[in-house]
Amino acid sequence: MKQVLQAATLALCFYTLNASASILWQGDFETGDMSQWSTPINPAGHSVISDCVFDGKYAGKITLTGDESFLWHGNKDLNRSEFHHRYTVGENNEGSTQEGSDTFFAFSFYLPKELSKHKHELGYWESDKSWQQMFRFNIQGSELSFQETAAKNVLWKLPKGAAPGQWHRVALHIHWSTNPKLGSTEVWVNGKHMGKNNFQTLPVKDALMFTQIGILRSQENSTEEILIDGALQTDNLTELLERNRYLIGKTCQPTATVSH
């Protein structure tokens, strides 16, 4: 019996180690601050809240107003505040976004109120060398869409993909390539597979791509808010899609702010 218990304990430790090893990065705000994230974009709009979360005790919050302090270099088309994630490549090239690499990334968002009908960029991937944006998620009202930035039309849209009052989950499998026949993205929204699309995902072969999640819009006088939680990068698709899947659609009424 003792040997059985020891074996079970070792198996549990092995499973826990492997489960944690599959998570390359987390941005779940469980530190109670923004320290998991890289250099923020307009941090005046950032806070951490405790009363409306996707999972755990904390979530990040973006509050954007039309104040000039939220303009990027004074540009009225860049009224923004975002969380920034720039992954450090590990020993086994984990986290690499170079030619032929794969990224498995997900995050959850919650809108207390519907955003205006103007275009809002929810999240996108951009190059550290050319600052070239390759693809992005857009929100207009309650509609969520996805597009290759260089293309005029969106690849798909969901009329209620950004409906307020519930947590939405976005998951991405990105294959990085400068070749439009090899580069690809697969997206899942709230567990629904939105298909695979091939296009150039990488501007140059050695680009280090980063993502920014929050609100980027043209200047408006309105105040808009979005909550972000549960962001993570894994080394496999199964972990990406199954982790906290049961929390999709969770509702709450956010009010309290923990920190700025």
CA angle (130 as vertex; 181, 91 as ends), nearest 5: 75
Q: Is 236 helix (H, G, I), strand (E, B) or coil?
A: coil
Determine the Cα–Cα distance for residues 173 and 4; give it in Å rounded to an integer: 40
DSSP assigned state of 44: G
> What fold is seen in the domain 24-259?
Jelly Rolls (2.60.120)
Q: What is the pLDDT along the chain (260 residues), one digit of tens a residue?
A: 444 344 444 334 434 434 445 899 999 999 999 999 998 888 889 999 999 999 999 999 999 998 888 888 888 888 999 999 987 666 566 668 999 999 999 999 999 999 999 999 999 999 987 899 999 999 999 999 999 999 999 999 999 999 999 999 999 999 999 999 999 999 999 999 999 999 999 999 888 999 999 999 999 999 999 999 999 999 999 999 999 999 999 999 755 555 55
Q: What's the Rg (C-alpha) of the chain?
A: 19
Helix runs in the chain, H state only: 2-21, 237-242
Q: Which amino acid is at 16?
A: T
Q: Which residues contact 155 (CB under 8 A, 6 or more apart)?
A: 145, 146, 147, 148, 195, 197
Report if pTM > 0.75.
yes
Q: Which amino acid is at 211?
A: T
Q: Which residues contact 149 (CB under 8 A, 6 or more apart)?
A: 124, 133, 134, 135, 136
* Tokens encoding 18: 């492997």
* Tokens encoding 183: 């580069």
CA angle (242 as vertex; 228, 113 as ends), nearest 5: 30
Instruction: Parse the chain into domains and list their residue ranges.
Output: 24-259
Residue 34: count of CB within 10 angstroms of its CB:
19
pLDDT of res. 90? 62
Are 240 and 106 in contact by the 8 Å Cβ rule? The answer is yes
pLDDT of res. 116? 96
> How many CA atoms, within 13 angstroms, populate the side-chain half-sphere of residue 192?
10
Q: DSSP strand E in 65-191: where?
A: 71-72, 75-85, 102-110, 120-127, 133-140, 143-148, 156-158, 167-175, 184-189
Q: Which amino acid is at 241?
A: L
